[in-house]
C-alpha cells in the first residue's frame, strides 16, 4: 500500500514539473496589485525615429520584491494598430501593471478587434476583420468586404 502511494505521488509530481517546464505550455497572465505606486520614471533620451519601428519608453516593472527599471526599446510596427506602452494605473488606492499591447481601433480598451501582445489575432476572429468567427460567413478571408 505504501509503495503504491509513493509511486502515484512521484508520477503526479513528475507530471506537474513537466507541465511547468514544457516549452509551448500555457502561460497564465498574473495581475499584480500593489498598495503603493512605482518610483518616478527615469529620464531616457528618445532615439531618432526608425522606419518600421515604434519606440516603447522605459518603465518600472515589479519583480515580486521591488520595482526594477526596464529600459526603452524598439517594437516592430504593425500597420493598422496603435501601440500602448506598459504602464502603472492607480484605481482606488491600488496600483496595477498594464502590459504593452497593440490596439486596432485606437480606443485604448482591449476588445475583440485588438491583437494579443505577441501579435496573434484573438482566437474568436481568425482573419482579424473584426467579425467573430461565429458570425463571419468567411472566417478565414482577411479581405472580406
- C-alpha cell recorded at residue 116: 494579443
pTM of the model: 0.53
Cα–Cα dist 104/119, whole Å: 11
Q: pLDDT digit string (tens) for 37-88?
A: 889 988 999 899 899 999 999 999 988 899 999 999 999 988 888 888 888 8
- C-alpha cell recorded at residue 106: 485606437
Q: pLDDT digit string (tens) for 86-103?
A: 888 888 888 888 888 888
Beta bridge partners of 103: 82
Closest CA to 129 of 118, 114, 117: 114
Cα–Cα dist 115/128, whole Å: 8
Amino acid at each position: 500500500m505504501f509503495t503504491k502511494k509513493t509511486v502515484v505521488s512521484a508520477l503526479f509530481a513528475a507530471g506537474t514539473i513537466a507541465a511547468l517546464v514544457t516549452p509551448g505550455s500555457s502561460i497564465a497572465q498574473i495581475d499584480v496589485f500593489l498598495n503603493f505606486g512605482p518610483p518616478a520614471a527615469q529620464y531616457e533620451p528618445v532615439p531618432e525615429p526608425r522606419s518600421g519601428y515604434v519606440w516603447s519608453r522605459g518603465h518600472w516593472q515589479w519583480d515580486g520584491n521591488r520595482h526594477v527599471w526596464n529600459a526603452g526599446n524598439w517594437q516592430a510596427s504593425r500597420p493598422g494598430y496603435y501601440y500602448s506602452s506598459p504602464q502603472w494605473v492607480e484605481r482606488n488606492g491600488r496600483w496595477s501593471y498594464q502590459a504593452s499591447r497593440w490596439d486596432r481601433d485606437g480606443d485604448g480598451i482591449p476588445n475583440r478587434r485588438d491583437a494579443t501582445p505577441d501579435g496573434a489575432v484573438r482566437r474568436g476572429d481568425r482573419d482579424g476583420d473584426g467579425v467573430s468567427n461565429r458570425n463571419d460567413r468567411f472566417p478565414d478571408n482577411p479581405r472580406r468586404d
